[in-house]
Structure 1
């Protein structure tokens, strides 16, 4: 997970959106509980926002330079798959910088 240390290089903000009680959001809630501390420790200046809303579909948003944003739907994904999606978003930020 060395990529986590470089997350803030290409990404300007991370947002997790999920429902506080729905079963569909349970893996996203668990991912945040288990991984928020590590992500913030490795990227102390990176805003990591947690947004809870009743009935919302679980999502992960990344904001890059110039206001470019990408969204990944997390419904039906496991915690490991959510980690993989976050890594994809982090790497996408690096490729946006090189353009």
Structure 2
């Protein structure tokens, strides 16, 4: 998980959206509960926003340079799969910044 330490170099903001009570959002809630502290401690200046809204489908958003955003639907994913999606979004930001 070395990529987490360099997350703030490739991503300008992370947003996680989920429902407070729906089963579809359970993995997203657990991911935030277990990983928020680690990600923030490694990237203290990176905005990591958690948005709860009744009935919303779980989503992971990454904002990059120039306001470009990418979204991943988290419905049906496990915590490990959500972590992998975040890593993919981080790597997408690295390649975009390299251009």
- Per the normalisation by structure 1, the TM-score is 0.99
> Which runs of 5 or more structure 2 residues have no equivalent in the other structure?
none
- Per the normalisation by structure 2, the TM-score is 0.99
Across the two proteins, how many residue pairs are aligned to each other?
99
Runs of 4+ in 1 over 2 A off after TM superposition: none
The answer for the alignment partner of 1:89 in structure 2 is 89
- SS class of match (1:57): coil
Alpha-carbon deviations, 1:39-96, whole Å to 9, x = none? Answer: 0000000000000000000000000000000000000000000000000000000000
- Map of 1:1-99 to 2, 5 A cutoff? 1-99=1-99
Q: Distance in 2 between matches of 1:91 and 1:7?
A: 9
Q: Distance in 2 between matches of 1:78 and 1:29?
A: 11
> Which runs of 5 or more structure 1 residues have no equivalent in the other structure?
none
